[in-house]
Amino acid sequence: MNKNRRKVLLIYTGGTIGMVFDEKLKTLVPVNFDKLNSYISYIDQMPIDIRHISFENPIDSSNILPKHWVKLVDIIEKHYIEYDGFLILHGTDTMAYTASALSFLLENLNKPVILTGSQLPLDMIRTDGRDNLIAALEIASAYKDDLPIVPEVAIYFENKLFRGNRTSKFNAENFDAFYSGNYPVLAQVGVHIKYYTEYINKPTNKPLKVYKKLDNSVGLIKIYPGMPIKILEDILYDKDLKLVILETFGTGNAPTYDEFLKPIKKAIEDKKVILNITQCKAGKVELGRYATSLSLENLGVISGADMTVESAITKSMFVLGNFTDKNQIIRLLQTSLRGEMTDNE
């Protein structure tokens, strides 16, 4: 590799962006990344040394599991010193989950870890994959004064760079597929790339610390009018679950009638942690603002503030996997660890 060029490791997990149509098989097959320039002819003109690693068996992102997040951490840890940045090609459906999980598993991250994908395969004429891949490579290799411009886990899609653990997929049809309702974009791509450095994590001199434990004993309940109480009870009383996330209305509101509150009260008495996040794509939980959330607060339900559901789930798995003291778990869940939430006040 040329010492004067930035080095980026491209990691293909699976997903549309790494697929092309095979005329003989009449189906989509993974790209041969050794011949990436046959699909993007000008990629060789970029001042970047690109190497690639692919999952041995690329997977649809709907099949992503915590073990795959740990596998990505293993790859990044193994090659962290050698490369200036990392670009993960990933299916869009669970990209926000993977980005959120990686942000927690990679502490003191001091290099860009950028995720991107596409809505159309790379060899289609109108594919969004080419532009996403080129811009994401440029961002993953972007340094100023020998310091990384984006030393965090981020998602690049359709001209915007988002903090990974603040992002959700909200559109399955348009190229503009991702949304960050509670945090500004980190960069905007047009004629130039405009970085909003005031919103980007600052480089740190601390050594990278990786975590490889996740505990998926996390339940999720989306509250809706008229929901059968049995649904609430089945999840809250499940002995294999240590933590349950409630997706509530508005600023953390939920029904206040006894039949609804009783199983929540019992679950908390049984030492379960109950985390409250809002169903809204923007805004935050404010326990006690209305009487309909005060009841939950009085029972011991804790606020997830403005975390996305993807971030709340992966953060819960991370915290449960690496900490055992319940008071510490509750404190960490309510504290911003990687910029994933606005701290509760």
Give the SS3 label for residue 129: helix
Residue with tokens 């001091």: 110
Query: What radius of gyration, in Å, describes the C-alpha atoms of the chain?
Result: 21
For strands 153-157 and 160-163, give the pairing: antiparallel
C-alpha distance from residue 114 to each of 20, 102, 225, 259, 333 (Å) = 22, 11, 39, 46, 25
Q: Which helix (H) or strand (E) holds 148?
A: strand 147-148
* Residue 198 burial by Cβ neighbours in a 10 Å radius (0-12, 13-18, 19+): exposed
For strands 6-12 and 48-54, give the pairing: parallel
* Residue 242 · residue 212 · CB < 8 Å: no
Q: Which helix (H) or strand (E) holds 20?
A: strand 19-22
Give the SS3 label for residue 339: coil
C-alpha distance from residue 129 to each of 125, 141, 181 (Å) = 10, 18, 24
CA torsion, points 71, 217, 113, 175, in degrees to nearest 10? Answer: 110
Give the residue numbers marked as catalytic.
16
Length of the chain: 345
* Encoded tokens for 173: 């049809």
Give the SS3 label for residue 210: strand
